[in-house]
């Protein structure tokens, strides 16, 4: 709700913007949502950078990796420190 008040939008609108306006999705949400959001972005043809853990289960990780390979897209499990340019903050 805070984000809606701050940005005047909602999560669904933000997801749709990512699906249409970007080549890469960076997923840094709560851990249980990583698999579903990764699969959604891969299905939309987006490369995915996902905060660790990429999945809470081995089966979820395999599902994401197999789907990324099938779609010929990049999937990378990252930590924020690896991709966030702290020197620019």
**Hey, where are the domains in the chain?**
23-81
CATH class of 23-81: alpha beta
State residue 67's pLDDT score. 98
Per-residue model confidence as pLDDT tens digits over 5-48: 555 556 667 777 767 778 888 898 899 999 999 999 999 999 99
Backbone angles phi, psi at 24, to 5 degrees: -130, 140
Q: Please tell me the distance from the alpha carbon of residue 60 to that of residue 53, in angstroms, as a whole number.
A: 11
**Total-model pTM:** 0.73
Strand order in the sheet with 24-27: 24-27, 47-51, 75-78
State residue 80's pLDDT score. 65
Per-residue model confidence as pLDDT tens digits over 52-68: 999 999 999 999 999 99
State residue 22's pLDDT score. 80
């Amino acid at each position: 709700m805070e984000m809606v008040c701050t940005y005047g939008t909602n999560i669904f609108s933000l997801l749709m913007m990512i699906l249409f306006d970007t080549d890469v999705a960076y997923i840094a949400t709560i851990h249980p949502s990583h698999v579903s959001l990764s699969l959604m972005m891969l299905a939309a043809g987006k490369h995915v950078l996902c905060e660790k853990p990429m999945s809470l289960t081995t089966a979820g990780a395999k599902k994401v990796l197999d789907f990324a390979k099938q779609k010929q897209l990049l999937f990378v499990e990252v930590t924020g420190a690896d991709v966030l340019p702290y020197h620019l903050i």
